[in-house]
Structure 1
């Protein structure tokens, strides 16, 4: 049960079954939900049957009703996120109800610590309200035994979901408490996300230790089903926290990524130039790329220097440089000053994996490769390729 950011485009089929829109927000039921619903029916049905023998096979219908009530609780949780976000004019892309509960995805958001925290905590607050409503229902009037059972389970389920979700670590909603505190102190949301991610990993380890260690300390064998459930939940928390840390670290590296810093130096020649001129231009410039320009002056291709070296000397003046060229993609040139997310977003729209770098006057000063940018994002050393 988390919130995330993403493009505000219509959800693809893989998001699941469209359930319509609520307050303008598309809602999808992930196919994985049917797995958890089936498990609830299989395991909860016999328990209901033993408590209410007169139900017969209807006990499984009651178990299915419990699964649907949980689904409604998750939907209300996610709607609380979405509606609070809409109050702050956040673009809300969709709600997806999944195997693990659900998530609300937003478009590009520029926020501050306060609103971010309120949007995150709106979900657990909705679960507390649902638990309170169930408790008031039990007090208001006598209910049939089956209705009492479902209401009590709904109360406890919502209390557990709310309490679990306010634990201060990502990917739980309460992780925004840590994120917002560090964000407020440092001015960086991404540093807050990293801190909240590590807090989430601590929670995952603490949860596993709290369930598994006490039986061993008492020299008892822990319940296998409890161990497996704990392993699944702790693993989910650990992976979600790790994803948050990795994504935030990438965003922290983006401001230091620029075309000027990552490019290979380059010189340019017109497409009609002979190979001999290109060789003379590159002489004494080891490691320099050669960009070929079109008659319009725009970068058009890259000279393959291995092929350039193989042109016989007697043909060097009669062979044009475009004979040993590999074309650039349409518009594959960027300003040397381009940097950060603006550079990455722009390159993502271009074809090919090589881009000419130009100065303010439009002159070619370098060659940028997709590999160099990706390595910088992943903080890996760049291995220059031969041009």
Structure 2
């Protein structure tokens, strides 16, 4: 139920670069309740032209919630009516979450920020924006819109509860009133990935002028809140729906998603901060050229002699046709290297594996994502070979992220 720009990086080797989705999606999802959700889902509506997608997992968790709430209603309702009331409550609750997300989205649209979609999933919702708010003030307003509307709905529910005081209708009104008030207040907690965390980020951004610093600070507050939730709330879990065990499990899941969401925001920011270091020319390995028939041992000797860290295989016209695969070389015992041709240890150069020496940043990540490989050939604008870029050298740039 936030509306955020939280990227989600976790990288290991080449696979890590792929999992970044071509680098941090600086327009990541705004997650109002917690965490990140998959892209799969069912489009159920298009208010204001925004696709509303329901995660398939929602139906499973919604069923669990219905059983939990039906059990809570067992003292006042009997038979199948308690399940019907529980189902109605769950549906109305998620409609309230949808309205919460629409508040984020409508304000974002008012600022000219395209909204990709709204996703409802088991623990809440996400408004996915295609652009980050341009100023701290817009970030604050987009983030505050959701909790403000939830609290407004809670106030309306309170007013209705004074009129509808008895029966099933009265119970539903009171439950929805409490649900919207809790959702509104909870999302105002000042830590990512909650709306309050986005608002805190906007405030820090305003005073420091550094959005990355603001994100990291709000992310650490979010982590602290997740720990506090685990340490404090379980003492009150007997007051939550489903009893002590269910309540404790529920709080633990929320705390875990808070920790994950905050951590993703921190990693995404650190990733973006290191993007300027991602320059192919600076990371390139010096290379020598050898014919395909050159013994592997001789190719290695020539590279060592020239203080080169890469070998490019050329044809009879000295045109690069392959790059010696470092992993294959390391796996070949030294005693076999004089009897193995360099060409047999090389990977053919596909057109997409030839990159401009000046490529950098997100353009470089997108290029290597299109054709995953261990090495890439870097060339000058004139077509002259500049060197070889090894994927493992890219990983070192993001070490610790």
Between the aligned partners of 1:295 and 1:108, the Cα distance in structure 2 is 50
Name the structure 1 match of 2:149: 126
Distance change in 2, residues 1:79/1:158 (3 Å):
same
Could you tell me which of 333, 338, 342 is aligned with 1:310?
A: 338
> Following TM superposition, by how much is the alpha carbon of 1:256 offset from its aligned partner in structure 2, in angstroms?
1.5
Between the aligned partners of 1:274 and 1:286, the Cα distance in structure 2 is 18
Q: Which moved more, 1:102-111 or 1:363-372?
A: 102-111
Q: Does 1:235 align with 2:260?
A: no
Q: Which moved more, 1:336-345 or 1:246-255?
A: 336-345
Distance change in 2, residues 1:150/1:245 (3 Å):
same
Q: Does 1:98 align with 2:121?
A: yes
> Following TM superposition, by how much is the alpha carbon of 1:283 offset from its aligned partner in structure 2, in angstroms?
6.6
C-alpha contact (below 8 Å) 1:167/1:173 kept by paired residues = yes
> Following TM superposition, by how much is the alpha carbon of 1:182 offset from its aligned partner in structure 2, in angstroms?
3.0
Length-normalised TM-score, structure 1: 0.80
> Following TM superposition, by how much is the alpha carbon of 1:97 offset from its aligned partner in structure 2, in angstroms?
0.7
> Following TM superposition, by how much is the alpha carbon of 1:169 offset from its aligned partner in structure 2, in angstroms?
0.3
Could you tell me which of 184, 190, 195 is aligned with 2:217?
A: 195
Deviations, residues 172-192 of structure 1 (Å, cap 9, x unaligned): 111112222333344432322
Could you tell me which of 59, 81, 106 is aligned with 2:82?
A: 59
> Following TM superposition, by how much is the alpha carbon of 1:345 offset from its aligned partner in structure 2, in angstroms?
2.0
Q: Does 1:173 align with 2:195?
A: yes
C-alpha contact (below 8 Å) 2:292/2:313 kept by paired residues = no
Q: Does 1:258 align with 2:286?
A: no
* SS of structure 1 residue aligned to 2:190: coil
Could you tell me which of 34, 37, 40 is aligned with 2:65?
A: 40
Structure 1 residue runs of 5 or longer lacking an equivalent are 216-221, 313-318, 381-387
Deviations, residues 255-302 of structure 1 (Å, cap 9, x unaligned): 112112322112346x69977997896472134322245799874321
Between the aligned partners of 1:335 and 1:304, the Cα distance in structure 2 is 20
Distance change in 2, residues 1:224/1:137 (3 Å):
closer
Q: Which moved more, 1:290-299 or 1:199-208?
A: 290-299
Name the structure 2 match of 1:383: none
Q: CA RMSD in A?
A: 3.4
Length-normalised TM-score, structure 2: 0.78
Q: Does 1:151 align with 2:173?
A: yes
Distance change in 2, residues 1:297/1:65 (3 Å):
farther
Distance change in 2, residues 1:331/1:110 (3 Å):
farther
Name the structure 2 match of 1:15: 40
C-alpha contact (below 8 Å) 1:291/1:364 kept by paired residues = no
Distance change in 2, residues 1:108/1:335 (3 Å):
farther
Q: Which moved more, 1:282-291 or 1:193-202?
A: 282-291
Between the aligned partners of 2:65 and 2:344, the Cα distance in structure 1 is 68
Instruction: Give the number of the structure whose alpha-carbon radius of gyration is greater.
Output: 1
